[in-house]
Amino acid sequence: MNKFKSIAIDGPAGAGKSDVSDILAEKLGFVHVDTGALYRAVALYFLENNLDYISKETVCENLNKIKVDINFKNNLQIVNLNGNDITGKIRLKEVANIASLISAFSCVRDFLLEIQRNTVEFYSVIMDGRDIATVVLPNADVKIFLTASVEERAKRRFKQLKEKNIKCNYNEVLNLIKKRDNNDFHRKIAPLKPSQDSLIYDTTNKTIDEVVNFLFSYIKGKMNC
């Protein structure tokens, strides 16, 4: 039996997975594995190598040129691409757009699967993404599916971008969220959906403190700790 604990948090873009997972990981003494960052790392490779036409064939043929790994410094995730720390480079909108596209490719999901699963061999983790409870960690100790209305999620993402001085407008962000939802929920490979044993929690109109406090109590109760 694995001595480490695992918590799977899934949900659509803007549901609050990353921020909530960060806080919960700190409160529990776990590490937070942001699986979206791994897809962004692969996307960054194609962006930096000027592979503008992103077809499934192009992506699959070039995966052997890519080495992605993660480690943790003071429990914070560091993402490396071909030996270089790219943690600060993967939040660009262009990277996110490519990541959304390539996440539907089975070769990419298979390529990153072992990296994600290996972390639970060495750490107690909170892992967030789109298919953690259903595919990556089907035996996780706790499974949670966060959701919120599309308008609420767009407002949150718009606020985040504005705080980072990234030029955008609300309607553009809303349309991007809707496009991401369509890709995530309807892709043939590992579509976004809650597992049968996931807690489904709607964060619409809730503060991050309200969400964290509720989930912290839920997790402690499930783990009997």
Q: What is the 3-state secondary structure (H, E, C) of the chain?
A: CCCCCEEEEECCCCCCHHHHHHHHHHHHCCEEEEHHHHHHHHHHHHHHCCCCCCCHHHHHHHHHHCCEEEEEECCEEEEEECCEECHHHCCCHHHHHHHHHHCCCHHHHHHHHHHHHHHHHCCCEEEEECCHHHHHCCCCCEEEEEECCHHHHHHHHHHHHHHCCCCCCHHHHHHHHHHHHHHHHHCCCCCCCCCCCCEEEECCCCCHHHHHHHHHHHHHHHHCC
Mean pLDDT of 137-156: 96
Looking at the chain, the whole-number percentage of residues with pLDDT higher than 70 is: 97
The pLDDT assigned to 126 comes to: 97
Q: Which domain holds residue 76?
A: 6-218
Whether 34 is covered by a domain: the verdict is yes
pLDDT per position as a tens digit, 177-222 = 998 898 889 888 888 999 999 999 999 999 999 999 999 999 999 9
Flag whether pLDDT at 153 surpasses 70.
yes
Whether 225 is covered by a domain: the verdict is no
CATH number of the CATH domain containing 105: 3.40.50.300
Highest mean pLDDT among 41-50, 160-169, 197-206: 197-206
Whether 32 is covered by a domain: the verdict is yes
Whether 207 is covered by a domain: the verdict is yes
Whether 223 is covered by a domain: the verdict is no
Average pLDDT, the chain: 91
Whether 128 is covered by a domain: the verdict is yes
The pLDDT assigned to 213 comes to: 97
Number of domains in the chain: 1
Looking at the chain, the whole-number percentage of residues with pLDDT higher than 90 is: 71
